[in-house]
Amino acid sequence: MPEITASELAARLGLRVRGSGNRQITGAAALADAGADDLTFVSSEKYFEAALESAAGCFIAAADFPGASDRTIVESPHPRAHFAQALALLYPGAPIRPGVHPTAVIHPSASVDSTAEIGPFVNIGDGVTIGAGVRIGASSSIGAESSVGDDSVIYARVSIYDRVRIGARAVIHSGAVIGADGFGFELAGAAYRKVPQVGRVEIGDDVEIGANCCIDRATLGVTVIGDGTRLDNLVHIGHNCRIGKHVLIVAQTGLAGAVSVGDYAVIGGQVGVGDKARIESKAVIGSGAGILSSKIVHAGEPVWGTPARPLRQYLRQLATLSRLAKRGTTKET
């Protein structure tokens, strides 16, 4: 990790320093664990006292943070966000090592940029295009006619099926499967028959896909993940879903087929979304909620529960049930 002074860090972040700008920063830590050479952050006034009692030498904090004569303050209107940027500066990723590992198998028709890093036992299929600065980890597979945009990182053991397009600066974590068949079956007589899944998957720029996510190809047409969207680990996106830009979807959430999600929506963990549901831009769905098939979730108040309803209504219903339970207990005693 490179050492940096508080003044150098502040300059990189476009912020102002209060106290000694020459303080050397050798690492970053949580408030309770930080030492004299560590950077930490103070997100709000309720943490001021704990910060002043800590051993941390340098804080990213709001301008009204009182500080102390022996501390250095990097003043920020958004301490948490600037701390995240500082972490990227303090702990840069490993540099790209251009080249193809001798155990990788690359189809003669594939186009791999000379600045890409192709790891051990990678398989790259017919007609694949790999952009500049791409890193593909060990044992990953890229199917025929797929493409990976510039500066993307594909970690180990990722499976990308045929005809998948991945934009620039994507990050795809281990175990993800992109472009597998959608769940399409029709009952024909006494048995289910598979409906061929002949569509594609398109993933925009700056998308991050967590470990062991599954994104199914469309039955016909395209399954779309918009620019800047973030999928946590163990998220399932069904066939023909259209996910907008800068959407957050938390772990263990599953979307059935043909769900649409608007830009900047937030979907909590362990949410189930039925087929053809529509989630509007900037809607918020609480963890564990259930969205019925073809339901429309409007932007505005967060929704919670199964079936999902506005949070205030959900809380009133919980309070009513609690009162009824207490009355029942009182009558029994």
Catalytic residues: 239
Residue at token pair 């301008």: 63
Q: Which of 204, 184, 306 has its CA nearest to residue 245?
A: 204
Which DSSP helix (H) or strand (E) runs through 89? helix 79-90
Amino acid at 251: A
Residue 330 tokens read as 């009182």
Please, are residues 321 and 330 in contact by the beta-carbon 8 Å criterion?
Answer: no
Instruction: Return the SS3 of 152.
Output: coil
Residue 149 tokens read as 């945009």
> What's the DSSP call for residue 270?
T
d(CA 75, CA 27): 18
Residue 225 φ/ψ, nearest 5 degrees: -120, 120
